[in-house]
Amino acid sequence: MARTRGFDTEVAVSRAMELFWMRGYEATSLRDLTQHLGIGQGSLYAAFGDKQGLYRAALEHYRANLAAAALRDLEEGADARSAVRALLMERVRIAVEDGGRGCLAVNAACERLPEDPSIRRVVRDMQDASQEALAEVLRAGVERGEIAPQHDPHTLAAFLVTFLNGLLVTSKITPDARALEPVVEVALATLG
């Protein structure tokens, strides 16, 4: 007879996400995870396969919750420029928390891509979703006359995602949203 799982996997993934986000993959040991999650090593392996499986689950949780919320907020913004500014500044605000934890997806790209192609897919999917959502907002902004039509919305969205990735890395070095806000304004100047 199969044993029932003695813990809530969704809660465990959420707590693991926070730990990986603060420490990174390499600096988070199995012991750290089992202690933080309050589960045994056997339970972790049974539920997620291994540490890498739990990390992928944590990234998927991040994508489904935090990254998806940012895209919803972007689509609900008033005008295009304000929506883009709000997205960038909210991502910076989250990234500078806890002394500069950055962005879990960008952290994963910097730390795990060479070792795990499945992480590349998850991060690429998040980046593609951000770029597509930004392109839609920018396209609508061009149609309403809020954004200069000098650049293709997809190219401009690709630039903004690339800029945001760099900004999120910078937020780990300079965990001060006020110090990074002027840089966001420079990026917004590309909207014309």
Segment 100-129, tens digit of pLDDT: 999 999 999 988 877 788 888 999 999 999
The residue-averaged pLDDT of 128-149 equals: 92
Inform me whether the pLDDT recorded for 5 exceeds 60. Answer: no
C-alpha R_g of the chain: 19
- Go through the domains of the chain in sequence order and give each one's CATH number: 59-191 (1.10.357.10)
Mean of the per-residue pLDDT values for the chain? 90
Inform me whether the pLDDT recorded for 1 exceeds 50. Answer: no
How many Cα atoms are found within 13 Å in the side-chain-facing hemisphere of 100?
13
Segment 20-51, tens digit of pLDDT: 999 999 999 999 999 999 999 999 999 999 99
Total-model pTM: 0.87
